Structure formats: C-alpha cells, structure tokens
Amino acid sequence: MTVPTDPKRPPVAYDEAKSLAADPDPARRAELALLPQTPPELLYYLADDDDPMVRRAVAYRDETPLQAAPRLARDQDIDVRVLLSRKLARALPHLTGDERHAIRDIAHHALTMLAADQVVRVRAALAGALRDAASAPPTLVARLARDVAREVAEPLLRDCVNLPDEDLIAIIKAQPFPWALEAIARRDQVSAPVAEAVAGTGDPVAAASLLANPGAALNEGTMTRLAERPLAGLDNKQAAKLLLPPTLLGKLARIVEDSIRGEMAGHGFDKEDRQEVVAVTQRRLNWARDYVKREAPDAKAARLKAEGKLDEAAIWDALSWGDKTFAREALALRADLPSELVQRIIDTQSARAITALAWRAGLSMRCARLLQLKSGLHPTKLLNARHGVDYPMTDAEMRWQLGLFGVE
C-alpha cells in the first residue's frame, strides 16, 4: 500500500501528534496513522477510533503494536480485518526467539480469530498472505487448506510449501471438491505419495493436471492409472496421448464437428462470423494439444514472449482452458511484475484490483472481465466495461489500485 504522505513534511512533534489524534476530522486522524513518525502508542490508541478509515490505516501499519491485533480482529469493518491479516503475515518472520514468545502468542490468537471469520474475503486474504510465509503456524495453514470456500483453500493447496504430504493426502482422502484435487495436482512439486493419492480419486481433471505437471513425481504405476482411468470408455485409445480428461475430449469432439458451421448458419451467423469462430476454435484446440509437451508454465510464457507471441490471445486461450498458472506467469511478464505479486492481487478477489492488473498488462477490458471471472469472482461481482469496451476506471484510479500493492 502506498502511504499518501508528503516526503518533505517535517517530523510531527509528539504534542502535535497527540493533538491530531483527537482531531474531529477523521481524515486528519487517518493521515496521522499513516505517518511513518507516528509513535506506536498513538497507533495503539487509534485502534479504537470510531471511524473505520482510521482503523484501516492502523491495521495496515507494521508499526502498530501487535497487542492491538485481537481488538482489530474483532473489528466490524471487513477491510480492517483484511488489512490486519496481511500485517500479521508480514510480522510472523520477526516473532522468533524466547523474548518474543508472548507477542507471538498474541499474533497467533488474532490469526486464529481471522481464520474463523465468517466473511470469506477475510479468510481468503489471510490464506493469500500466509501462502508464502515460511513461519506460518502449521495448524492454521492446515485449517485454511480445508476451507470449503475455493478462494480460501485453493491458493494454499496450490502453492503453500508449509503443507506436508500427510496433510495433503488427508485432504485428498476426505473426498474434497474437484477444484481442490486440481490445485494439489498443479503444485510446483508433487511427491510420489501425493500423486498416487490424486490418481486414486479417479478425477479426470486432476489426472490431466498431474500428467501435464513437470514437477509431479509419477512412477510407472501412477502413470498407468492416470492414463487408463480418465479415458476409460473411449473407443480411441490413442487419445490417451493427448493427456486430456474426457470432459475436455468431449468438448474437442463437439466443437470440431463440421456441423458447427451448419448450426451457426442456421442461426443467422454470416460467413465472416463463422470463419472467425472456427479460427478461434482451431486455435484453442492447438493450445490444448500443446499440453502434451509438459512445458513448465513460466518457461512457456518466457518462450512465447521471446517469440513475440505472448499476446492477449494466448492469455485468453489459457483462461478458456482454466490454465491459471500460465495466465499468472503471462500476466507477470506483460505487466513487468513478480508472479507472486500477480497471484497476490488475484487472491484478493477484488474486481477493481484484478481489472487494474489487466490494464497494466495491456489487455482489453473484455479480457479483463474474463480474468475476473476465471479468478473466481461471482458474475454479480464483476466490474463491467464502460460503453461495452472501455475500462470503467481512469488511469489514475487503476494506478492507485496497483499502488495498494506497492506497484509504482
């Protein structure tokens, strides 16, 4: 988050800071909370401010004493709790050593409260913040990884290194949602026992994800099971070479039938429209078949960029097939941002933040809307285009959105 303060402003004297803390204007009190030189004891005092804008600033500041965390974790304002979850995740690496034991207990207590929050956005923000935190409490990570909300559990199942194989296998055996199996199958590193557990579920999409994952340790038995189970019942056994699930194979079969042209013609599509649909269909087919190469998503994105082919069509095709990992890497390269930051923006489930990310990557608003949808936002929460094609925010507003994540 970019703190909107004047770098040339002289330090605030303690007496002046105390006076500002009692100012009737909440904007002045919020500004005080954001000033780098504001004493921690005043930040602690402002944690009880009547205005949520002030409390949000306090929850954001790393300098706010952790003793205020339990109070902020119970705050009625959702944004306060979201900002607190990220602050606590940032603080975890610094809470080591016996002398920090009491403070660490306070932080863990607040984190436990946030993990039980009834608002999905709060739990999702916490999960996204803990995904890369090596010092995150294992029991807390395991709890969030079992969350029934996809936007909470999926980032941890896919990326968190703090989830041991025992927890992953237990989650798999608990018959989770298909998206959870797919997330586990797409982890950068999938051990042989975890891969075997995924294969044992018989889930076709997870099976295809494992086969396409260069980081999955697949022994001969697992490979055989993956190749046979998802494609059982198909007449053409050679289709197994595509390494695609039957649902995908069914789509391919339907959309390449010649009857599509006749069907479109019967509904009033002219020749130019039919040619465009067929061309896009063929491109999507080629994109799907390319998964047989098992090329790592980051390597594929880098290769396409070097070839001058990392365009909007590539991101659109990846999103159409649900390839979120490649889409993240492609967005990172196009936006000149770390892929971890791109994922963090997506994990916020903020329509405005994701739209600003698409704008930074040079995508059309039409593609930005698809990115929102494929990021897990409910259709009713999508940010739609203005006049059908234009971004609904000004450039300054989108820069401000990105500034919340430290993007210049």
pLDDT reported for residue 403: 87
Q: Specify whether the CB–CB gap between 53 and 30 falls below 8 A.
A: yes
Residues 6 or more apart from 246 whose CB is under 8 A from it? 204, 230, 231, 233, 234
Paired tokens of 153: 């559990």
Residue 374 lies in a domain: yes
Residue 323: name the closest of 276, 281, 282, 287 by CA: 287
The span from the CA of 329 to the CA of 313, in Å, is 15
Residue 277 lies in a domain: no
Lowest pLDDT segment from 68-77, 274-283, 295-304: 274-283
pLDDT reported for residue 206: 83
pLDDT in tens, 180-215: 998 999 888 899 999 999 988 888 878 877 877 778
Residue 314 lies in a domain: yes
Residue 324 lies in a domain: yes
Residue 204 lies in a domain: no
Residue 87 lies in a domain: no
- pTM to 2 decimals? 0.57
The span from the CA of 207 to the CA of 244, in Å, is 8
Average pLDDT over residues 319-325: 80
pLDDT reported for residue 50: 92
Question: Domain tally for the chain?
Answer: 1
Q: Which amino acid makes up residue 250?
A: G
Residue 153 pLDDT greater than 80, yes or no? yes
Lowest pLDDT segment from 75-79, 148-152, 209-213, 259-263: 259-263
CA torsion sign for 380, 385, 388, 389 is negative
The span from the CA of 145 to the CA of 156, in Å, is 6
Residue 48 pLDDT greater than 80, yes or no? yes
Residue 400 pLDDT greater than 50, yes or no? yes
Average pLDDT over residues 34-56: 90
Paired tokens of 233: 């019942």
Residue 387 lies in a domain: yes
Residue 231: name the closest of 212, 250, 214, 218 by CA: 250
Range of the domain at 328: 297-408
Residue 390 lies in a domain: yes
Average pLDDT over residues 218-238: 56
